[in-house]
Amino acid sequence: MSVESKSVVVGWSLEERIGTRATGALVDALNDNRAWLLPGDASRFDGLFDDARFRTALQACAGRNNAFGAVMGDQFGDGLTFAEPIAVDAVDDHLARAHTICATNISAFDEELAAATRQMASSLGGLGRIRFNAYRSPEGAHTPMHTDVRASISIQLQGTKRWRYQTKPSRPYPESNAQIDRWGDVVWMKPVAGVKPPAAPVDAQLAEVVLGPGDLLCVPAGAWHEVMTEREGLALNLSVRPTSAIELFPMLVARAFGPREHWRQGVPLTAGAEPGSSVPDEVVRHVRERVAELAEWANGLDAAQLARALWDRR
């Protein structure tokens, strides 16, 4: 899995931090897209990150688009939450107002954390993108029920948080994040044409746990969850998104056919063609030729060689 940044830190592989057997169980949970909880030794992640480094990283990413913000709600009276970009000098004011400060991809702005991220990514193996997000939360902060497109591995460093979460998602690997508005309707956070949002959870589907320092919780992609801070603190979220076939094959097609002129040109123009009329012969012929080339290419793929090439690019 790819990670942004450089430098090397010793000792942050998951095998070293949680053990080989637990690492295998975590990988199994990620592959099965189900929740997994590991109660922790409070010192298990000592030195991984802290509040001083969090604030230094905020200074480093200040001005970057949507790098960090305060989690707020009801901007338009709909009950939905959002991360409002804020200035670094406004952080303490928002914490005093019980707003969580969320920093996306914080590992790109802290070299030690970036190095630790690479080691943890190596422990998980596979292709895709992995990053750490950070959450500095005051007592009383609440992130309402929502789903995410990525699986998340939450590591509590300081303080305590109460989680309510689905152990299996309503909609696995969703097309968008989702929330529930003030009227109880499920809303995609990015409109997805023609795709119905997942059903809202019922209490019987939800597990509940209080995470303290050293605890680790994996929440699968698409699972409903909400978080309430009981004692102010800091948490890291290892956000995991393996490469899907939907992402992989367009990339392979572009590599295979990008050098070919007829694949780079547009569909033929047809003077005088009326909207709703029969498809012009030139267009049908162009598409048929591309489909034939695509089928020939696909039939010639060697899955083992392709998997080896992809694996070696990690």
By residue range, what is the domain housing residue 271?
Answer: 246-312
Q: Above 70 in pLDDT, residue 141? A: yes
With respect to residue 263, please indicate whether it lies within any of the assigned structural domains: yes
Give the Cα separation of 20 and 23 in Å (integer): 5
Strand 68-73 to 101-103 pairing: antiparallel
Q: How far is CA 46 from CA 144, 159, 171, 225, 312, in A?
A: 29, 13, 35, 26, 33
Nearest to 129 by CA among 108, 109, 143, 158: 108
Q: What is the mean pLDDT of residues 67-78?
A: 82
Per-residue pLDDT, 313: 63
Give the Cα separation of 140 and 126 in Å (integer): 38
- Whether 139 and 107 map to the same domain: the answer is yes
Radius of gyration of the chain (CA): 23
> For residue 278, what are its two tokens?
């029969």
Per-residue pLDDT, 1: 59
- Domain finish residue from 200, 215, 243: 243
Q: State the CATH number of the domain containing residue 92.
A: 2.60.120.650
Q: Report CA torsion sign: 174, 146, 25, 1.
A: positive
- Whether 139 and 115 map to the same domain: the answer is yes
With respect to residue 121, please indicate whether it lies within any of the assigned structural domains: yes
- Whether 266 and 199 map to the same domain: the answer is no
Give tens-digit pLDDT for 248-289. Answer: 888 888 989 999 999 998 888 887 777 778 888 889 999 999
Strand 151-166 to 216-219 pairing: antiparallel
With respect to residue 20, please indicate whether it lies within any of the assigned structural domains: yes
- Whether 214 and 92 map to the same domain: the answer is yes
Angle between the N-to-C axes of helices 111-124 and 20-32, in degrees from 0 to 180, rounded to the nearest 10? 80
- Whether 214 and 265 map to the same domain: the answer is no
- Whether 142 and 266 map to the same domain: the answer is no
> For residue 55, what are its two tokens?
């604030």
Per-residue pLDDT, 8: 45
- Whether 218 and 296 map to the same domain: the answer is no
- Domain finish residue from 243, 266, 285: 243
> For residue 227, what are its two tokens?
């978080």
81 and 71 Cβ atoms separated by less than 8 Å = yes
- Domain finish residue from 243, 267, 293: 243
Per-residue pLDDT, 208: 98
Give the Cα separation of 187 and 200 in Å (integer): 10
144 and 210 Cβ atoms separated by less than 8 Å = no
Q: Above 60 in pLDDT, residue 9? A: no
Helix extents (H) in 62-176: 91-96, 111-124
For 58, half-sphere exposure in the C-beta direction (CA atoms, 13 angstrom radius) is 23
- Whether 101 and 250 map to the same domain: the answer is no
Give the Cα separation of 205 and 214 in Å (integer): 26
Give tens-digit pLDDT for 303-314. Answer: 887 787 777 766
With respect to residue 64, please indicate whether it lies within any of the assigned structural domains: yes
93 and 103 Cβ atoms separated by less than 8 Å = no
- Total number of domains in the chain: 2
> For residue 147, what are its two tokens?
């789903």
Amino acid at 162: R
Per-residue pLDDT band at 5 (split at 50, 70, 90): very low
With respect to residue 2, please indicate whether it lies within any of the assigned structural domains: no
- Whether 77 and 88 map to the same domain: the answer is yes
DSSP code for 84: E
- Whether 264 and 223 map to the same domain: the answer is no
With respect to residue 267, please indicate whether it lies within any of the assigned structural domains: yes
Q: What is the mean pLDDT of residues 133-148?
A: 96
Give tens-digit pLDDT for 164-222. Answer: 999 999 899 999 999 999 999 999 988 887 888 999 999 989 999 999 999 999 999 99
Give tens-digit pLDDT for 91-122. Answer: 999 999 999 999 999 999 999 999 999 999 99
> For residue 220, what are its two tokens?
């699968």
How many percent of the chain have pLDDT more than 90? Answer: 66
Task: Outline where DSSP puts E strands in the chain.
Answer: 36-38, 68-73, 81-85, 101-103, 128-137, 142-147, 151-166, 178-180, 186-188, 206-211, 216-219, 225-242
With respect to residue 1, please indicate whether it lies within any of the assigned structural domains: no
Nearest to 161 by CA among 174, 144, 142: 142
- Whether 210 and 119 map to the same domain: the answer is yes
Write the CB contacts of 117 (distance below 8 Å, at least 6 apart in sequence). 3, 5, 107, 130, 131, 132, 238
Q: Above 60 in pLDDT, residue 3? A: no
- Whether 232 and 260 map to the same domain: the answer is no
Give tens-digit pLDDT for 210-245. Answer: 999 999 999 999 999 999 999 999 999 999 988 888
Amino acid at 160: T
Strand 216-219 to 128-137 pairing: unpaired
With respect to residue 7, please indicate whether it lies within any of the assigned structural domains: no
